């Protein structure tokens, strides 16, 4: 590498960004030989109770808007200007809503360190014109640096409270990037495994939400645990098939990792995607109305992804090959009777 200490910048400061910045700030302090003590965080500036959010974070050591009640270590430094936040960093941690990825990367061109590596904690896949891109690949392409990815059965709020959780990092370069990211993220309450299959990892993170809608439909129809577990299992198989059909380097073992079966189970047990679908069944409302009521008008990621996956498959005349994903789309968007989702299992 040619550097003494890695300088870490976290790009994003929502609930997940703040939780992970807190964990990173703890970890870098324990490893001064590897990491610079200061963890810079780019914060989208806003006013909270008449003060700037960056000032609140830097003075009170708390992100009162997105992670209230949790103290941040004082080596977390919030910056409102993204170029100041990222300049000379060796490690960029991307943890921001997917709609901001492109504009954010554009601003980073030219200011990043020549030997910089990135990791994407961005949720979802990037659908554009019936194509699918991985956000890690897009970051890598735009900035000309390697980009790994992290995903797993972990909730921001639990990580912030130091409740035990597990996660998976997917990295092309296990020997260098994989090792550094393991040191940056792994700790007693956040158990990280590193794998090479960064593609399968990101596919799991997006498609699990579509499967959670199937689980929610099952719950809404009062189908019981056995039928619900049948949907989860078929969903797992379709996630794997999707990855292996449309991407290279997707391994079966990935689906045994935290980013695979564990995240899928927890998303189908609780979570807003499952809840929205359950409430949709028998409601005589559109999915948009249900989301308006339950999520204050935000879209649940699963419904959006179900639509995008359907368009992707339709463009390739392959909807029949993914009967569960297709049936979720038909029930949510085309008025198909919810009970017809059972047909996907009998396919």
Of 154, 199, 303, 327, the one binding its own copies (CB under 8 A) is 154
User: Which residue carries 């198989």 as its tokens?
Assistant: 237
Using CA atoms, how far apart are residues 337 and 340, in angstroms rounded to an integer?
Answer: 6
Would you give the distance in Å from CA 341 to the centre of its chain? 27
Give the distance, in angstroms, between the CA of residue 270 and the centroid of all CA atoms in the same chain.
16
Radius of gyration of the chain (CA): 20
Binding-site member from 18, 199, 266, 305 for its own copies (CB under 8 A): 266
Among the listed residues 48, 174, 230, 281, the single contact to its own copies using CB under 8 A: 230
DSSP tag of 72: P
- When asked if residue 49 is in the footprint of its own copies (CB under 8 A), the reply is no
| Residue window 246-265: x/- pattern of binding to its own copies, with contact defined by CB under 8 A | ------x--xxxx--xxx-x
Residue from 303, 245, 307, 239 nearest 271 by CA: 303
* Residue 233 interacting with its own copies (CB under 8 A): yes
Q: Establish whether 183 is a catalytic residue.
A: no
**272 labeled binding residue:** yes
Is the CB of 12 or the CB of 165 nearer to its own copies? 165
Owner of token pair 């290279």:
248
DSSP 298: P
User: How would you classify residue 12: left for phi > 0, otherwise alpha for psi between -120 and 50, otherwise beta?
Assistant: left
Calculate helix-pair angle for 272-280, 287-295, nearest 10 degrees. Answer: 130
| Residue of the chain from 20, 67, 206, 236 that contacts its own copies (CB under 8 A) | 236
Question: CA 151, CA 27: separation in Å to the nearest integer?
Answer: 18
Closest distance of CB 263 from its own copies, Å: 7
Q: In this chain, which stretch among 63-71, 80-88, 163-171, 310-318 interacts with its own copies, using CB under 8 A? A: 163-171
Q: Find out whether 123 is annotated in a ligand binding site.
A: yes
Q: How far is the CB of 264 from its own copies (least distance, A)?
A: 8
- Ligand-binding annotation for 17, yes or no, is yes
Q: Which residues bind its own copies (CB under 8 A)?
A: 153-155, 158, 163-166, 188, 191, 223-230, 232-233, 236-237, 240, 252, 255-258, 261-263, 265-266, 269-270, 342, 345-346
**Residues noted as catalytic:** 208
């Amino acid at each position: 590498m040619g550097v003494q200490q890695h300088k870490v910048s976290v790009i994003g400061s929502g609930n997940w960004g703040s939780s992970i910045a807190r964990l990173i700030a703890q970890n870098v302090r324990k490893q001064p030989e590897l990491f610079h003590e200061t963890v810079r965080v780019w914060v989208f500036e806003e006013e909270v109770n008449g003060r700037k959010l960056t000032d609140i974070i830097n003075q009170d050591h708390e992100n009162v808007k997105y992670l209230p009640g949790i103290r941040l270590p004082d080596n977390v430094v919030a910056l409102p200007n993204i170029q100041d936040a990222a300049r000379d960093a060796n490690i960029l941690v991307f943890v921001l809503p997917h709609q901001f990825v492109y504009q954010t990367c554009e601003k980073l061109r030219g200011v990043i360190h020549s030997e910089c590596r990135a990791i994407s904690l961005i949720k979802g896949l990037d659908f554009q014109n019936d194509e699918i891109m991985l956000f890690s690949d897009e970051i890598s392409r735009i900035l000309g640096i390697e980009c790994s990815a992290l995903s797993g059965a972990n909730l921001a709020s639990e990580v912030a409270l130091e409740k035990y959780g597990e996660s998976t990092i997917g990295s092309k370069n296990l020997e260098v990037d994989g090792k550094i990211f393991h040191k940056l993220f792994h700790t007693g309450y956040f158990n990280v495994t590193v794998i090479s299959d960064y593609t399968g990892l990101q596919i799991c993170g997006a498609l699990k939400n579509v499967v959670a809608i199937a689980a929610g439909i099952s719950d809404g129809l009062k189908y019981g645990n056995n039928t619900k577990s049948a949907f989860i299992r078929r969903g797992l198989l379709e996630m794997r098939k999707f990855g292996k059909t449309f991407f290279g380097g997707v391994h079966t073992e990935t689906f045994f990792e935290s980013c695979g079966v564990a995240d899928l189970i927890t998303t189908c047990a609780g979570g807003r995607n499952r809840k929205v679908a359950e409430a949709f069944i028998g409601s005589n409302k559109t999915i948009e109305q249900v989301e308006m009521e339950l999520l204050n008008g935000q879209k649940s990621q699963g419904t959006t992804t179900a639509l995008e996956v359907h368009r992707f498959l339709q463009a390739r005349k392959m909807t029949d090959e993914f009967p569960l994903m297709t049936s979720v789309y038909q029930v949510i968007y085309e008025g198909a009777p919810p009970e017809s989702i059972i047909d996907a299992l009998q396919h």
